[in-house]
């Protein structure tokens, strides 16, 4: 039996995972102290220390843009430079939130391959800044995305090399982990091996794309950067009065490996998509598929054919400008084998179909 | 049978009202477009027009501080003056969020009675600013709280007079309606009679203190001030990806008068508290009790006695500086007659008790 | 022979002192490195160390508002509280520059006598903030004006007491020294005795009101607060390309005591004014005259009589709100005995004149 | 007779032109109203209308960074996009001042040739922004530099085409005219033909690089963008108390064509430099020489030879990244034929010299 054409636009269209919604309900029994003085927040703090195997300052907020912008404001002054990939979410998709929260910092785009920035480009950019002196914003921070905007994943050694380049020039390391679960699941390593053990100072840890209702967090490993974060969060309007309902989501997300199970599922279906496309003519997988995103170059007729059939996804010209059509396909923790296979089948059919003239 | 000593610290310690949590669950069926392109948000927009009897721009956010600060940034430039009561929430309890979001505006405190600002003080302050010229921030906005920080409520005519003073000097009118439901329930008038019909340009409409999980909204009546609010919200990190879960709360809150029923309940219990205290010696109700807050001056021995018994509330010296002990008692939609009577009984007992020496 | 009625509106209407203009001309011989790498700036740095008897970071800028706002941004985060007198220039006359440069800090007005804030009010305000926690801006800085807006001067011991209150709560000390020369001349002590030796971290040092063309400076005594000031100044647009012409003004101002001579002259004429008014009926000198400003309460008929005769000065209701007419008279380094005596003579004449009916 | 090796680092190392310094002295006779209520400022306003042949709002400030950042803040909201050349001064050399003054706007770098941006790249970038919607900063402004950072000049028709692209998408047009005089002198057209007549809304007009002590100006042609500029300037700390000394510089600069004479002289010497280099082997003039800057690619041995001889200039790798050595030579109104010929002669000598091994 056939299923309707599926939605691959984004992992943020998925519903809330059952254990998370259940925890919200559980947190609703009776009154509780507001602004984070509640039981769930206390429990979360101890869970976070276990997950990351060290002291951390763990601050839940409701959106990824808030997490990123608040995190960057902790590590960059208004006259600071934040080095990132040219298609980083902070650079392209947050409507200037980092510039606003830092009070004027500049995002400096680094050349890159497969969505990853590399230590040499950091060193070169910092050297240029130092030569320019007071006229240039002050090198303050390197921000990498894990997983990247192109669905690739940094190995721990790659992060360590970037950290080394950052640290030796006095810069902080920020990681945008909107899809940190997908990266961790892909690598099969521990969260600490991707963060505190390889020099990450501040992590924006996302849960909303992987089953939460509205849970992201600023996770600070370096006490020097944790100073007074509460005031910054409050001033940004990101401290909830009924804070237990943010913390409860995190508690459920991190309990019994739900976060990694969800991510593993999404990753596997992205791999299945990639595997399927690799066998088709005139199809090109543009980047290694290491998380839950697949970028595929395909004939315009196939793209518009899929659209006409009712499949949902975005055309993504930015991933290879000026070189024809590419689309982005995102799987999530609720995607199914049937949905994936339905898309592959439809693509195959369109490729085989005689071109209308 | 006796109940445990109740919590009167704040209406934000209450749980989520059942119909609102149920709506969140209902909104969780399957995928939905993100960032506000969902069904619930569409429904909310049409509900909002009905509730306010006019075209409105209704933007949900998760916190009251965000709603206030974003609203003020719509109506004041960085070099603007916002006129408000000296104990307004925006002035005292939001950690500089209005200053941050406006990019530098100044909150100017007006003299007041019972927590309300008046048209004459607005006119005088604007006249002073005009005399000072470029050295003074530019008069931009009057912000009133409805209900006020002292639990009092502006009559529609009082709002109209303030609006007239504001409008005639070219200022916008903002209303902080964190407890707008309590004010509306108290007056028994329509929401429009408190806002669009009496010159309010922008309302911060609160639901979190009255049964929602995390729902506030910026409600804009004047199209001139609605311009590009979406970008400002996004830049502040206040646009949710799974936006349906914000809108669903609002839909349930405004449906079948839940918001007014909840507020009416809280108001009635505050009145019952006030009524009870009025009969006791050495007790003074400091402001007219028109919403769900009661400020009571009482002997130190009574205050500490209540604390020792386990009752929860805040001492509130700011409401009459330098004149002895006063406490704030807040009721909510889940407060009960038994809780109120328990507090009154305990107070009476403490007053009658021979003073220990 | 009679002279025309003089101008007592402000010391900033005076021309540039001859030695300062001459130094600007001298600095104009040939090319020079830009942005502060010039000979005059080097010389200034060593002069500044001599004047203040310690290591200082001395950054010239062109306006007092820039000096104050940049200085405060060095010592307060966006979510900080700056404690000052309610009529401090930073609070009333800088169009929100401190809020803008800090990115959102709040100026908190302290009760005061004679324009001076006192340690007890600092301690009380900080205690209140600590009780409010994250909802309140973070106590960051005490800012005092020397001389004050009411023309009074803090004794070194008064500054030390304020510093002690600030320091013990972890706050920085800022001094707005737009009229620092007048204060120093009045007290007859050394600049160090008013700053570094009594706990001042950052001084806004003014020269424009006392003979310079456009010279103010941020003088930093505490290396912890000097960090990266150059970038902040540059980002604010306050780093001159032809920087030698700012430094040259300072070099001439500080050479051979010109700054103190000029201030002494202005102070003496203010004293002469005060002395003259004290002998007249219905005249009241409102504050001790310790610098170059005199605030006088006088009959409306006298004020308007002086205005009609062509004397220039400001009516200054703010210095005692609701209590009748007061005027502010400011003397400068170019004021003359004849101008002062002319005003006194005219006032006397007006008082004696039979009131018109 | 030989002269010492000359300084070609920048036109901002030159002294103040005699007529300008003389006007400052003339402005120093007696007292004058402060903050721009003086005679010189009045005169300047009428001169500005004559120079630009239309109503203009002309606001002097002391630095080019201030002029640019204040101008951009008038035309872009905090969530705005400013489109500019990737090596625009606003993007590279102002330490984030535009981001700071706008409160968060993003500078978006456009591909370019010879330092000029073109209408197609503006249209493409705006189309991309529109597709991205609320996640992308809002297209607000196009900023071009006249003359450009590479010493080239936009023809009036090129500006008109850019304006048309901007205007049709609702964007404002800003011109960074730090070297506006050089561009105007090169083209031989009127100032209006380069600004108001071709759709420029706001001009940052520079004088400091061309003979002034510290005079720049924000010149606003579009009344919609002039609103409340005074407050913004004041809040930025850029309103001088002794404002006459800023205005006097402008009055002298614009009188009798001094500004164009100075620029013409500098341009001619740059042309002479270019002409000289064109005849030499292994020398490449990288961009058309249309103002007072010459970028020359030359052998490393020649560059270091010139440095060793004492000539002053900057190496400028950014003008053709990764392609060997290039230097920037800037002439000014005080450069001489002898200085230029001295450099050419030395270069020729170094080229002919047998390479040391």
Asked whether the predicted pLDDT for residue B196 surpasses 80, the reply is yes
Query: What is the average pLDDT across B237-265?
Result: 98
**pLDDT digit string, tens, across residues A211-246:** 999 999 999 999 989 889 999 999 999 999 999 999
Report CB contact under 8 Å: D31, C334.
yes
**pLDDT digit string, tens, across residues A73-114:** 999 999 999 999 999 999 999 999 999 999 999 999 998 889
> Does the CB of B235 have a partner CB in chain D at under 8 Å?
yes
Query: What is the average pLDDT across B278-292?
Result: 95
Cα of C247 to nearest chain B Cα, Å: 27
Report CB contact under 8 Å: B135, C93.
yes
**pLDDT digit string, tens, across residues D123-160:** 999 999 999 999 999 999 999 999 999 999 999 999 99
Give CA–CA dist C162/C151, Å, rounded. Answer: 19
Three-state DSSP class for residue B31: coil
For residues A345 and D317, which has the higher predicted lDDT (pLDDT)? A345
Using CB atoms, pick whichever of D95, D132, D135 lies closest to residue A136: D95
Chain C (35-74) residues lying within 8 Å, Cβ to Cβ, of chain A: 35
D-chain CB neighbours of B103 within 8 Å are 78, 103
**pLDDT digit string, tens, across residues C180-196:** 999 999 999 999 999 99
C-chain CB neighbours of D234 within 8 Å are 65, 94-95, 97
Find the residue in A nearest to B96 (Cα): A235
Instruction: Evaluate whether A206 touches A177 at the Cβ level (below 8 Å).
Output: yes
Using CB atoms, pick whichever of B77, B137, B231 lies closest to residue D134: B231
Cα Rg of chain D (Å, integer): 21
Neighbours of chain B (3+ CB pairs under 8 A): A, C, D
Using CB atoms, pick whichever of D103, D135, D138 lies closest to residue A94: D135
Q: How far is CA A75 from the centre of its chain?
A: 19
Task: Specify the pLDDT at position B353.
Answer: 76
> Does the CB of D2 have a partner CB in chain C at under 8 Å?
no
Tell whether domain C259-351 is in CATH 3.40.50.10860: no
For chain A, what percent of residues have pLDDT higher than 90?
A: 91
Instruction: Evaluate whether C234 touches D93 at the Cβ level (below 8 Å).
Output: no
Three-state DSSP class for residue B42: helix
Instruction: Evaluate whether A291 touches A151 at the Cβ level (below 8 Å).
Output: yes
Asked whether the predicted pLDDT for residue D321 surpasses 80, the reply is no
Report CB contact under 8 Å: A79, C135.
no
pTM above 0.95, yes or no: yes
Nearest Cα neighbor of A100 from B174, B97, B246, D126 is: B97
Query: What is the average pLDDT across A306-321?
Result: 90
Find the residue in D nearest to C98 (Cα): D235
Mutation pick from B69, B93, B95 vs chain C, by most beta carbons of C within 10 Å, is: B95
D-chain CB neighbours of B134 within 8 Å are 35, 230-231, 234, 239
Report CB contact under 8 Å: A231, C104.
no
- Which residues, including other chains, have CB under 8 Å from residue C34's CB and lie 6 or more apart? C241, C242, C243, D10, D12, D13
Give CA–CA dist A88/A145, Å, rounded. Answer: 7
Report CB contact under 8 Å: C132, B93.
yes
A-chain CB neighbours of B244 within 8 Å are none
> Does the CB of B240 have a partner CB in chain A at under 8 Å?
yes
Report CB contact under 8 Å: B235, D35.
no
Element (H, E) at B266: helix B258-278
Report CB contact under 8 Å: B232, D35.
no
State the virtual CA torsion across C65, C71, C77, C82 in degrees, nearest 10.
Answer: -70
> Does the CB of D282 have a partner CB in chain C at under 8 Å?
no
Instruction: Evaluate whether A299 touches A325 at the Cβ level (below 8 Å).
Output: yes
Instruction: Evaluate whether D322 touches D305 at the Cβ level (below 8 Å).
Output: no
Nearest Cα neighbor of D339 from D1, D68, D5, D116 is: D5
Asked whether the predicted pLDDT for residue B323 surpasses 80, the reply is no
Task: Specify the pLDDT at position C323.
Answer: 73
Three-state DSSP class for residue A60: strand
Cα of C237 to nearest chain B Cα, Å: 17
- Which residues, including other chains, have CB under 8 Å from residue C127's CB and lie 6 or more apart? none
Three-state DSSP class for residue B8: coil
- pLDDT tens per residue, chain C (357 residues)? 468 899 999 999 999 999 999 999 999 999 999 999 999 999 999 999 999 999 999 999 999 999 999 999 999 999 999 999 999 999 999 999 999 999 999 999 998 889 999 999 999 999 999 999 999 999 999 999 999 999 999 999 999 999 999 999 999 999 999 999 999 999 999 999 999 999 999 999 999 999 999 999 999 999 989 889 999 999 999 999 999 999 999 999 999 999 999 999 999 999 999 999 998 999 999 999 999 999 999 999 999 999 999 999 999 987 777 677 899 999 999 999 999 999 999 999 998 876 554
Whether B259-352 and B18-256 are alike in CATH topology: the answer is no
Q: How confident is the model at residue D113 (pLDDT cuts 50, 70, 90)?
A: confident
Report CB contact under 8 Å: A134, C230.
yes
Runs of H (alpha helix) within chain D? 18-26, 39-52, 64-75, 89-92, 97-102, 119-132, 156-168, 180-187, 223-226, 229-235, 244-254, 258-278, 300-309, 337-352
Report CB contact under 8 Å: D104, B79.
no
Three-state DSSP class for residue B142: strand
Using CB atoms, pick whichever of D214, D239, D241 lies closest to residue C240: D214
Find the residue in D nearest to B236 (Cα): D79
Report CB contact under 8 Å: B234, A94.
yes
From residue A19, how far is each of A15, A16, A45, A61, A211 by CA, in Å?
Answer: 12, 9, 19, 19, 9
Tokens of A297: 């170059």
Asked whether the predicted pLDDT for residue D357 surpasses 60, the reply is no
Report CB contact under 8 Å: A78, D95.
no
- DSSP codes joined into one string, D234-283: HHTT---TTTHHHHHHHHHHHGGGHHHHHHHHHHHHHHHHHHHHHTSTT-
Give CA–CA dist C127/C121, Å, rounded. Answer: 10
Instruction: Evaluate whether B99 touches C99 at the Cβ level (below 8 Å).
Output: yes
Report CB contact under 8 Å: D104, A100.
yes
Sign of the alpha-carbon torsion through C154, C156, C161, C163 = positive
Report CB contact under 8 Å: C105, B99.
yes
ipTM attached to this prediction: 0.96
- DSSP codes joined into one string, C82-144: EEEETT-HHHHSSTTHHHHHHTS-EEEEEP-BTTB--HHHHHHHHHHHHHHGGGSPEEEEEEE
Chain A (78-97) residues lying within 8 Å, Cβ to Cβ, of chain D: 78-80, 92-97
Query: What is the average pLDDT across D86-104?
Result: 97
Mutation pick from D129, D134, D241 vs chain B, by most beta carbons of B within 10 Å, is: D134
Q: How far is CA B164 from the centre of its chain?
A: 22
Report CB contact under 8 Å: D63, C241.
yes
Domains of chain C, by residue range, sit at 18-256, 259-351
How many Cβ contacts (< 8 angstroms) between chains B and C?
Answer: 68
> Does the CB of A239 have a partner CB in chain C at under 8 Å?
yes
Strand locations in chain A (E): 57-61, 80-85, 106-110, 138-145, 172-177, 202-206, 216-220, 284-285, 293-297, 314-315, 326-330
Q: Tell me the CB-side half-sphere exposure of residue A320, using CA atoms within 13 A.
A: 16
Give CA–CA dist D86/A87, Å, rounded. Answer: 16
Cα of A283 to nearest chain B Cα, Å: 28
- Count of residues in chain A: 357
Strand locations in B87-242 (E): 106-110, 138-145, 172-177, 202-206, 216-220
Nearest Cα neighbor of A103 from B239, D98, C227 is: D98
Task: Specify the pLDDT at position D111.
Answer: 85
Tokens of A198: 């390889």
Asked whether the predicted pLDDT for residue A357 surpasses 50, the reply is no
Give CA–CA dist D233/D220, Å, rounded. Answer: 13
Using CB atoms, pick whichever of B78, B96, B135 lies closest to residue C106: B96
Task: Specify the pLDDT at position D354.
Answer: 66
Q: How confident is the model at residue B338 (pLDDT cuts 50, 70, 90)?
A: very high
Mutation pick from D137, D139, D224, D235 vs chain B, by most beta carbons of B within 10 Å, is: D235
Asked whether the predicted pLDDT for residue A3 surpasses 90, the reply is no
What is the CATH T-level fold of the domain D259-352, as seen in this structure?
Answer: 3.90.1150
What is the CATH T-level fold of the domain D18-256, as seen in this structure?
Answer: 3.40.640
Using CB atoms, pick whichever of D69, D209, D213 lies closest to residue C237: D69
Asked whether the predicted pLDDT for residue B92 surpasses 60, the reply is yes
- DSSP codes joined into one string, D215-241: -EEEEE--HHHHTTHHHHHHHTT---T
Instruction: Evaluate whether A255 touches A248 at the Cβ level (below 8 Å).
Output: no
Instruction: Evaluate whether C117 touches C84 at the Cβ level (below 8 Å).
Output: yes
Chain B (114-173) residues lying within 8 Å, Cβ to Cβ, of chain C: 128, 132, 134-138
Element (H, E) at B131: helix B119-132
For B104-127, letters b (16+ CB in 10 Å) and e give bbbbbbbebeebbbebebbeebbe
CATH number at A18-257: 3.40.640.10
Give CA–CA dist D133/D126, Å, rounded. Answer: 11
D-chain CB neighbours of A94 within 8 Å are 135
Tokens of C177: 């020294």
- Which residues, including other chains, have CB under 8 Å from residue A151's CB and lie 6 or more apart? A115, A270, A287, A288, A289, A290, A291, A292, A293, A294, A295
State the virtual CA torsion across D329, D335, D341, D345 in degrees, nearest 10.
Answer: -50
Report CB contact under 8 Å: C34, D12.
yes
- Which residues, including other chains, have CB under 8 Å from residue B248's CB and lie 6 or more apart? B23, B24, B26, B27, B40
- DSSP codes joined into one string, A113-174: BTTB--HHHHHHHHHHHHHHGGGSPEEEEEEEESS-TTS----HHHHHHHHHHHHHTT-EEE
Residue C10 is given by DSSP the state: -
Give CA–CA dist C110/C85, Å, rounded. Answer: 5
Tokens of B349: 């007992």
> Does the CB of B99 have a partner CB in chain C at under 8 Å?
yes
Phi, psi of B107 (to 5 degrees): -90, 120
Three-state DSSP class for residue A313: coil
Cis bond leading into C147, ω under 30°?
Answer: yes
């Amino acid at each position: 039996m056939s299923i309707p054409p599926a939605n691959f636009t984004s992992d943020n269209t998925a519903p809330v995972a059952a254990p998370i919604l259940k925890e919200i309900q559980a947190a609703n029994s009776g009154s509780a102290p507001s602004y984070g003085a509640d039981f769930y927040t206390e429990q979360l703090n101890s869970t976070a220390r276990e997950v990351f195997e060290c002291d951390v300052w763990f601050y839940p907020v409701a959106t990824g843009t808030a997490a990123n912008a608040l995190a960057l404001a902790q590590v960059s002054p208004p006259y600071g430079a934040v080095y990132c990939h040219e298609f980083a979410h902070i650079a392209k998709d947050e409507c200037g939130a980092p510039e606003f929260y830092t009070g004027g910092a500049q995002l400096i785009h680094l050349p890159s391959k497969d969505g990853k920035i590399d230590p040499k480009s950091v060193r070169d950019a910092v050297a240029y800044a130092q030569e320019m002196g007071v006229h240039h914003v002050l090198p303050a921070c390197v921000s990498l995305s894990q997983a990247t905007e192109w669905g690739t994943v940094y190995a721990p050694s790659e992060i360590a090399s970037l950290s080394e380049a950052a640290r030796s020039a006095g810069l902080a390391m920020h990681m945008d982990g909107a899809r940190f679960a997908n990266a961790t699941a892909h690598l099969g390593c521990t969260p600490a091996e991707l963060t505190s053990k390889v020099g990450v100072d501040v992590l924006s840890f996302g849960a909303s794309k992987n089953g939460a209702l509205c849970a992201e967090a600023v996770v600070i490993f370096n006490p020097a950067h944790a100073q007074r974060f509460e005031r910054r969060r409050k001033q940004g309007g990101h401290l909830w009065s009924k804070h237990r309902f943010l913390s409860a989501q995190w508690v459920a997300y991190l309990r019994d490996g739900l976060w990694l199970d969800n991510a593993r599922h999404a990753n596997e279906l992205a791999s299945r998509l990639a595997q399927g496309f690799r066998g088709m003519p005139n199809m090109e997988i543009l980047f290694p598929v290491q998380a839950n995103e697949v970028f595929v170059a395909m004939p315009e007729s196939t793209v518009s054919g899929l659209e006409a059939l009712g499949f949902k996804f975005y055309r993504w010209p930015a991933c290879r400008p000026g070189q024809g059509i590419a689309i982005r396909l995102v799987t999530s923790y609720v995607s199914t084998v049937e949905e994936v296979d339905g898309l592959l089948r439809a693509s195959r059919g369109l490729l085989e179909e005689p071109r209308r003239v």
